[in-house]
Each structure stands twice: as structure tokens, then as C-alpha cells.
Amino acid sequence: MSPSPAVVTLATAGAYLLASVPVAYLVGRAWGIDLRRLGTGNPGTSNLWRNAGFLPAAIAGPLSFAQGAGPVGLARVAGWAGGPLAALAGAAAVGNGYSCFLRFRGGRTVAVATGAVLGLSWQAFAWLLAWYAAGVVLRSRLPGGQALGVLVGFAGAPLFCLGFAGAAEGVGAAVLLAVLIARRMDGLADDLRGGAPPRPTITRRLLFDARPGQRLSGPRAPAC
């Protein structure tokens, strides 16, 4: 039986609120730091790792993953797999990037979106893991290789969801991909208007999530 519109609305809102909890930011606060004032200023796991170390990132990462996987998993357990509710629960992981608890700012959504993809399609999740591993290998030869692996992996995830799970899941994964790129490009127009050279600025943003003049660790430097 399909869920009622009220159940779909409440479940989607609940998934968004869960994804919106700024886990990495809260873990950083527990470590005595404010991620918004360090490195890239991004309140996410990568910035936490660079500025607080492995242990806090190892705590925040799995919790963020569960924020994405949990709602989709619950929809499947309830018998609503292969339909819009599971896909909406996955797409609601965008709450991590647009958190209502941080004035609709947030992390870069990678860990939460990865968890959501697992719920949408294990085949797409396996594809992601393969590219994550490739990114780790590339990192030793290509600066930013790990981020490149993430982006390529997510570029193919909607097709895997479409082929192995269904159209709704494919759309859900496509929404996650769009948000992933949008969050990395946040503020790009301002940088380009300020005279930053387009090609290196876009490349640095995609691969390192850094704006011109910003450090990746330490006190946040103002953008040029």
C-alpha cells in the first residue's frame, strides 16, 4: 500500500531535519573549535579533519553517513522501496548542505549523500566506493584526486539508481549530485566578479573546496 500524502510530507520533513543536524560542527564544538572560523569555513567533516584531526572526523563521518542512510532504510523497511518516499527521503539529505540549524548553510553533503545512495541502490553505492578508492590512489599523483573520485562517482550514481532501482531513485540521486556540485560552487560568482582567474578558481573549488586566499587549515583567511 502506498503511503498517504500526509505520511510522505511528514517523512520527508523528518528526513530533512535529521540531515540538517550539523554533526561535524557539533563535534568540532565539543573539541573546542568553531569550524566556521577555520580553514574553508565549511562546517563539514573534511574541514573538521584538517583542523581537529582524525578522531573527531572519525566520529562525525559515520554519524553523517547514518543521517543519509537511516531515513531511506526506514522507508524500505516500511515496505515503501521502489517509490517516491524512499527517493524523497534520500533527496532530503540536501538538508546537510542547507541546514535550518545553521541559517540554511551547511556542509558539503558528501557523507550524508553517500549514506542516502546506499539506501537508494547498493549497486550505485558500490560504484561510489570504487571511485572513492580510485580517488585515494589518484591523490598520491594528482592533487585533489580524492575529490575528483567523489565527483565522478556521484556523476554516475543517478544512472545506477535508474538502472537497478527505478526512476524515482534515479531522480533522488540526481538531486544529490546537483546539490553536491552547487555547494562546492557556493560563492564562485563573487570570486569571479572580484577578478579571480576563472579556470584555476573553478578547479581549486571543485578539487579543494577552497576560495582564493583561503587556507585549508588554521584560522580562516578572508576571501579575495
Query: Residue 221 has what pLDDT?
Result: 61
Task: Give the confidence band of 216 by pLDDT, cuts at 50, 70, 90.
Answer: low
% pLDDT > 90, the chain:
44
- Return mean pLDDT, the chain: 86
Task: Give me the DSSP letters along the chain.
Answer: -PPPHHHHHHHHHHHHHHHHS-HHHHHHHHTT--GGGBTT---SHHHHHHHH-HHHHHHHHHHHHHHHHHHHHHHHHTT-TTSHHHHHHHHGGGGGTSBGGGTTB----HHHHHHHHHHH-HHHHHHHHHHHHHHHHHHTTSTTHHHHHHHHHHHHHHHHHHHHT-HHHHHHHHHHHHHHHHHHTTTHHHHHHTT--HHHHHHHHHHH---TT--SSSBPPPP-
Residue 179's identity, in one-letter code, is: V
Report if residue 221 sits inside a domain: no
Report if residue 194 sits inside a domain: yes
Q: How many domains are there within the chain?
A: 1
Report if residue 204 sits inside a domain: yes
Mean pLDDT over residues 95-121, rounded?
A: 91
Say which residues have a Cβ less than 8 Å from residue 195's Cβ, sequence separation at least 6: none
What is the domain extent for residue 29?
Answer: 5-208
In tens, the pLDDT along 142-163 reads: 767 788 888 899 999 999 999 9
Residue 224 has pLDDT above 50, yes or no: no
Residue 132 has pLDDT above 90, yes or no: yes
In tens, the pLDDT along 42-63 reads: 898 988 998 999 999 999 999 9
Query: Residue 113 has what pLDDT?
Result: 93
CB 89 within 8 A of CB 71: yes
Task: Give the confidence band of 35 by pLDDT, cuts at 50, 70, 90.
Answer: very high
Report if residue 139 sits inside a domain: yes
Report if residue 224 sits inside a domain: no
At 113, phi and psi to the nearest 5?
-65, -35
Report if residue 198 sits inside a domain: yes
Burial of 143 (0-12, 13-18, 19+ CB in 10 A): middle
Report if residue 168 sits inside a domain: yes
In tens, the pLDDT along 165-203 reads: 888 889 999 999 898 888 877 777 777 777 778 888 887
Report if residue 126 sits inside a domain: yes
Q: Which residue has the higher pLDDT, 216 or 117?
A: 117
